[in-house]
Amino acid sequence: MEKMEGLEPIRVALAEGERRGWVRTEGQRMTDILQSGEPFGFLAEASDQTWVEVFPDETLLVVPPPHVSPPDMRLPRSRTEVSIRVGDYQLIGTANLRPGEQDDPMLRATRRFLPLTEVVMARGGGAEESLEVVIVNLRRVDEFRTMEPG
C-alpha cells in the first residue's frame, strides 16, 4: 500500500471480512482510538476515495499503523504469551497485561481492546503471518489462553 498524505496504512477485520486501507490517527495510538468507542474514519484501499465509519465494537482485530509511544505513556506490565481465537483468526503473541490480569477474566473485561506484540497470526487454517502488533477486540474473543513460559 502506498502512503497517502497524512494517512497511515491499517487492516481491519470485521465479521464480514478483512479490509485494508488508510486511517488518520493525528498522532494518537490506535488502541486509544478503539478504546474511546467512537467510530473512526477509514478509507478502503479499493474505494473511490469514499470514507466510511468503522465502529470499534464491530471489529474483531486491527493491524494498526506503526506507532512508538512516548516513554511516559508506557506503564509497567507483565509480558505474557497468549493464544487467542477470534472469528476465524488464530493469534499467538505477547500481551502486556496489568498485574493479575492474565489469570482473571474479570480484570480483562475492564478493557475492550488488547494490543499484542510479536504476533503470529493465521486465518482459517491458512498460512501464518508474522506481525509486529495486532489489537484484539476482547469482547469478540472466542478463546483466550495464557501459554506456559518456555
Q: Which three cell numbers stand for residue 76?
A: 509497567
Residue 2 has pLDDT above 70, yes or no: no
Q: What is the pLDDT of residues 26-62, one digit of tens each?
A: 888 899 999 999 999 999 887 778 899 999 999 999 9
What is the per-residue pLDDT for 4?
Answer: 61
* Alpha carbons 19 and 113: distance in angstroms, whole number: 19
Domains annotated on the chain, with CATH: 8-59 (no CATH), 71-146 (2.30.30.100)
Q: Are 22 and 8 in contact (CB under 8 A)?
A: yes
What is the per-residue pLDDT for 35?
Answer: 93
What is the per-residue pLDDT for 149?
Answer: 67
Residue 19 has pLDDT above 60, yes or no: yes
* Alpha carbons 85 and 29: distance in angstroms, whole number: 24
Q: Which three cell numbers stand for residue 54?
A: 468503522
What is the pTM (predicted TM-score) of this model?
A: 0.86
Q: Which residues contact 101 (CB under 8 A, 6 or more apart)?
A: 78, 107, 108
Q: What is the pLDDT of residues 113-130, one digit of tens each?
A: 999 999 999 999 899 999
Please list the alpha-helical segments (H only) found in the chain.
Answer: 30-35, 105-109
Least confident of 15-19, 63-67, 70-74: 70-74
What is the per-residue pLDDT for 96?
Answer: 81
- pLDDT band per the 50, 70, 90 thresholds, residue 97: confident
Q: Which three cell numbers stand for residue 4?
A: 497517502
68 burial class (0-12, 13-18, 19+ CB within 10 angstroms)? exposed
- pLDDT band per the 50, 70, 90 thresholds, residue 131: very high
